[in-house]
Amino acid sequence: MTDVRVIEVKQSVFADNDKKAAALRADLKQRGTFLLNLMSSPGAGKTTTLLRTLEALRDELNIAIMEADIDSDVDARTLIDAGAQSIQLHTGGMCHLDALMTNQGLQELFGTQSNELDLVILENVGNLVCPAEFDTGASANAMILSVPEGHDKPLKYPLMFSVCDVVLINKMDALPIFDFDLEQARKNILMRNPHAEIIPICAKTGEGIDVWATWLKKRVALWKAQV
Amino acid sequence: MTDVRVIEVKQSVFADNDKKAAALRADLKQRGTFLLNLMSSPGAGKTTTLLRTLEALRDELNIAIMEADIDSDVDARTLIDAGAQSIQLHTGGMCHLDALMTNQGLQELFGTQSNELDLVILENVGNLVCPAEFDTGASANAMILSVPEGHDKPLKYPLMFSVCDVVLINKMDALPIFDFDLEQARKNILMRNPHAEIIPICAKTGEGIDVWATWLKKRVALWKAQV
């Protein structure tokens, strides 16, 4: 009797992606380009946070942004109108980006650059599940939890919080009208990831952006120093 | 030379699910049980909306709720503490529920019931992408778009809005502090789905819940009348 061949598709997909992600990370290190993978639920404020981040760091770093969405180009347009270097990636219905898709976007960016890019930020698809499963090759993972979403999200979406180096708690100006317990949010995040940096911000008013920009600038400098 | 066999896995997965969903829908029709599939981003207010819906309809209908999450049982506990019949489904890391998983939950519910269930509400995983791709066998699909998420979401997550019979716009009390254009939201939703019912609500204050409960009660009555 012939043995049935069992192919673990999910594992092979992830293992293959992990290899591509590691190769991409090594290439980015050689170039001295730091890639930040920014994730969140839909509407948590990724694009507004990026606009503030650009304001804070554009004089010191050469920055470009890749906007990933299933459809539309509203976010890339917003960023370009604000003077940013930005491209839109359409995922063809996919709920996440993998290392191959990320690399495609990066090659497009590098092709149009005369100078070295210090920092590329990938705004991932708004989703707390699938993007956490795929290593994009990023130098660091960041996520935004917004106050209106509630402090229980780390309980429901464990992987997202465990893969992130930094969690920005956005829309702090909305704290008075929502049942959001900041201390409980901190505890829930640290339960999933004891090493997570937690930074409360308000992208609309600019609150906390200096702390976030300082964190990011240090990480970029460290990345470049290790080349 | 032997032809290479190409297997369209994605299509076969969907086709198989569609068959299971159709069979489940037919079974529910026989029983006179209406299944509502409720979807949204994480933190848009599904559980609070369900608490209000129960308050409005529990005297008239026998209702049970299935809470789907990757992890935690906070939502099922909240509902049980409020006196609801509720079970928690864990998806094992999956970003959505399919018809088979939904049926497993339903059989568990039916097993504990002495009376017929008029309405079962499935609170799907918080995600605007994957749940829209899988027919759960529901009698109707509903989604919640919350004001803090912004009115551009139908542009970015087209499938979710096109598969929903009704869109609840929640957290209307937060309108003064967010840049959310209600008319533009309506236009964006209707562009994806001209037949969508759109109901502004505030689950926290109860605003609009009467309109929503009336819509749902009519749909349940219609479903039962067609048996």
How large is the average pLDDT for residues B200-219? 98
The closest alpha carbon to A33, from A74, A66, A73, belongs to: A66
**Given a cut of 80, is residue A51 above it in pLDDT?**
yes
Residue A126 near residue A40, CB atoms below 8 Å = yes
Of the pLDDT bands very low, low, confident and very high (cuts 50, 70, 90), residue B1 is very low
H helix runs in chain B, sequence order: 9-31, 46-57, 74-81, 99-111, 153-156, 158-163, 182-192, 209-225
The pLDDT, as a whole number, for residue B91 is 87
* Chain segment A123-143, per-residue pLDDT in tens: 999 999 999 999 999 999 999
How far is the alpha carbon of B54 from chain A, nearest alpha carbon, in Å? Answer: 21
**Given a cut of 90, is residue A13 above it in pLDDT?**
no
- Point out the least confidently predicted range of A82-86, A124-128, B46-50, B201-205: A82-86
Q: Distance between terminal CA atoms of chain B? A: 55
Continuous segment of H or E residues that includes residue A8: none
* Chain segment A162-219, per-residue pLDDT in tens: 999 999 999 999 999 999 999 999 999 999 999 999 999 999 999 999 999 999 999 9
Q: Using beta carbons and an 8 Å cutoff, which residues of A are at the interface with B?
A: 9, 41-44, 69-72, 74, 93, 95, 125-130, 146, 148-150, 152-153, 155-159, 171, 173-174, 177-178
Residue A67 near residue A74, CB atoms below 8 Å = no
* Chain segment B153-170, per-residue pLDDT in tens: 999 999 999 999 999 999
Tokens of B39: 């979807």
Q: Do B43 and A174 touch (CB under 8 A)?
A: no
Note the ipTM here: 0.88
How large is the average pLDDT for residues A87-102? 90
Bridge partner residues of B29 (DSSP): none
Q: Which amino acid is at A219?
A: R
The pLDDT, as a whole number, for residue A4 is 65
**Chain A CB contacts of B43 below 8 Å:** 41, 146, 148-150, 153
Q: Do B127 and A158 touch (CB under 8 A)?
A: no
Q: What pTM was estimated for this model as a whole?
A: 0.91
| Best residue in A67, A73, A123, A128 for a mutation probing chain B (most B CBs within 10 Å) | A128
Q: A178 to chain B: nearest residue by CA?
A: B174
More confident site: A116 or B185: B185
Residue A111 contacts by C-beta under 8 Å, 6 or more apart in sequence? none
Residue B178 contacts by C-beta under 8 Å, 6 or more apart in sequence? A174, B147, B148, B150
Continuous segment of H or E residues that includes residue A70: none
DSSP B92-120: TT-SS--HHHHHHHHHHHHHT-SSPPSEE
Radius of gyration over every alpha carbon of chain A, rounded to an integer in angstroms: 18
The closest alpha carbon to A220, from A75, A62, A77, belongs to: A62
